[in-house]
Amino acid sequence: MTAVNAPYVELHAVDRHKASEYFTAPFGFSETGVSETPERDSILLRQGDFHLVVTSGPATESFKEHCDGIADIALGCDDVAATAAGERALPTELVAAVVTGSTGLPAAELATIKSTVTVNTSPLSQAAVSGVLLASNGRLSQANAEAAAHYGTGGRSVLRELTEVFSPAERERLGVRWNEPSGGSFLTMNVAFPGDNAALARCARDFGPLWTPMSHFYPNGGGEHALRLSFSYLTPQEIAEGGRRLARSIDAETSRHTETAS
């Protein structure tokens, strides 16, 4: 019994548009098709080779009392009967039905099974995660390879740009320093002025860059002179321009703070 891939997962949702937005913004899916019939309206989402179908309409009525959930997971396999039997033994919030060709679980039976199983993780999230893992042979490193490469490029670009716009003498004069993380999508910069909401507003208004006050991450106090610089969706060109603008902003804010203190 071997499932070799997952061509698609179908979700039944009360509001297909709202459910689709959940996947397109945070998870990077793109809308590639729409189907509308009297019984069911579906939106086809895609990320790489993985497809997600989000459906609402009269055909999904049995799901309403259990909220949005998985209707079908299509598995490509080497043994249809054995795979179907094995998957039905898994937690039904994770794998609600196996579809191979025209075979599937009836909606009424699915609703009954779902009512006896409690899993805290959102079924929408389970569908996305399980589908991506199946499509990448169960390897997170394979599923995340493109994102990891993007973040790696962004991180190197940010560190290079900061080194260029803040010479050792400038760092000393402005009281600026930063960490050099080996991964992730942000770094932390320490500054001489209070990195509060007012300083953030001035930076955004006068120079353009946005950052997050690190004090927001310290409920009991701390991080008052630290900025969280994120580069999740920035290109190297945007990072270079942002770095130059950030340097001007920090110079101006440090001077403002020094004048106010004196």
Same domain? 124 vs 220:
no
Query: Torsion-angle region of residue 124: left (phi > 0), alpha (psi -120 to 50) or beta?
Result: alpha
Residue with tokens 């080996």: 182
User: How many domains does the structure of the chain reveal?
Assistant: 2
Percent of the chain with pLDDT over 70: 73
Q: Which helix (H) or strand (E) holds 154?
A: helix 145-165
Amino acid making up residue 35: S
Q: What is the pLDDT of residues 99-118, one digit of tens each?
A: 333 334 455 554 554 444 44
Range with lowest mean pLDDT among 44-53, 64-73, 140-149, 238-247: 64-73
Range with lowest mean pLDDT among 33-47, 78-92, 207-221: 78-92
Same domain? 111 vs 129:
yes
Same domain? 84 vs 193:
no
What per-residue confidence (pLDDT) applies to 251?
97
pLDDT over 50 at 89, yes or no: no
DSSP per position, 139-153: -HHHHTHHHHHHHHH
- Which CATH number fits the domain that encloses residue 252? 3.90.1150.10
Same domain? 76 vs 195:
no
Q: Is the pTM of this model over 0.85?
A: no
pLDDT over 90 at 7, yes or no: no
CA distances from 167 to 8, 43, 170, 225, 232 (A): 52, 52, 5, 20, 25
- Which CATH number fits the domain that encloses residue 92? 3.10.180
Q: Of 100, 116, 138, which residue constitutes the final position of a domain? A: 138
pLDDT over 60 at 179, yes or no: yes
Q: Of 105, 138, 171, which residue constitutes the final position of a domain? A: 138
Q: CA 70 to CA 68: how far, in whole Å?
A: 7
Q: CA 207 to CA 65: how far, in whole Å?
A: 51
Same domain? 96 vs 215:
no
Same domain? 207 vs 150:
yes
What per-residue confidence (pLDDT) applies to 110?
47
Same domain? 9 vs 110:
yes
Same domain? 120 vs 150:
no
pLDDT over 70 at 171, yes or no: yes
Same domain? 20 vs 108:
yes
pLDDT over 90 at 70, yes or no: no
Same domain? 151 vs 113:
no
Same domain? 134 vs 209:
no
Q: Which domain holds residue 173?
A: 146-261
Q: Of 138, 159, 192, which residue constitutes the final position of a domain? A: 138
Same domain? 125 vs 175:
no
